[in-house]
Amino acid sequence: MSSPDGIDVEIFRAKLNQTRADLTELSKAATESRKPVELDQQSVGRLSRQDALQQQALANAQEARRGNEIRKIEQALARIDEGEFGWCEECGEAIDVRRLEIDLTAAHCAPCAGAGQKLR
């Protein structure tokens, strides 16, 4: 299957690869903030330690979101390689190019994505 009319998959491939590279770079840059918080009460007070633990939890949550986004990007790149990019995984209809421009990793057309939300 080829891509729907109006979709230049090479442009989307480039955007997906760039987004993946950006997320990977952010992940590397945030490594320090995800390290375990030290327990030394002499150098860090109880409230400062709680703040550090909260910052660490936020950094870990951001890393999890980045990981999820990278997985979605890799799935979209696989759909490009398989000739399935731009086609809804649910109904098989073309995904509107405007939807793909907003969400490069969209795997469902708007009606199917909306129906999936209603079921949850």
Domain ranges for the chain, please list them: 9-86
- Dihedrals φ, ψ of 51, to 5°? -65, -40
Instruction: Enter the pTM of the model.
Output: 0.77
- Over residues 86-116, the pLDDT tens digits come to 999 999 999 999 999 999 999 999 999 987 6
Residue 24 has pLDDT above 70, yes or no: yes
Contact 61, 90 (CB under 8 A): no
For residue 19, give the DSSP letter: H
- Over residues 26-62, the pLDDT tens digits come to 988 877 766 666 655 555 556 677 787 888 888 889 9
